[in-house]
Amino acid sequence: MRFERSLDLLLVHCQGELGHVLVGGAPEIPGATMLDKMNHINTVDDSLRRFVTFEPRANVAMTVNLLVAPSRLDADAGFIVLQADRAHPMSGSNSICVVTALLESGRVAMREPETLVRLDTPAGLILARARCEEGRCLSVSLDNVPCFAEYLDQAVDTPHWGKIKVDVAFGGVYYALVDVDQIGLSIGPSNSRALAEAGIELKRLLSEQIPVKHPTLPGVDEIAYVMFRDREPDGAVRTCTVLPPGRVDRSPCGTGSSANLAVLYARGLVKVGDVRTSRSIIGGEFMAEAIGETEVGGRKAVLPRITGRGYVYGRSELRISDDDPFRVGFALSDTWGPQVDLLK
Catalytic residue check, 91: yes
Chain CA centroid to CA 209, Å: 23
Q: Which of 91, 93, 141, 280 is catalytic?
A: 91
CA distance 270 to 175: 19
Q: Which of 97, 253, 258, 278 is catalytic?
A: 253
CA distance 123 to 74: 15
Chain CA centroid to CA 63, Å: 9
Interstrand relation of 237-243 and 136-143 (parallel, antiparallel or unpaired): unpaired
Catalytic residue check, 253: yes
Which residues form the catalytic set? 91, 253
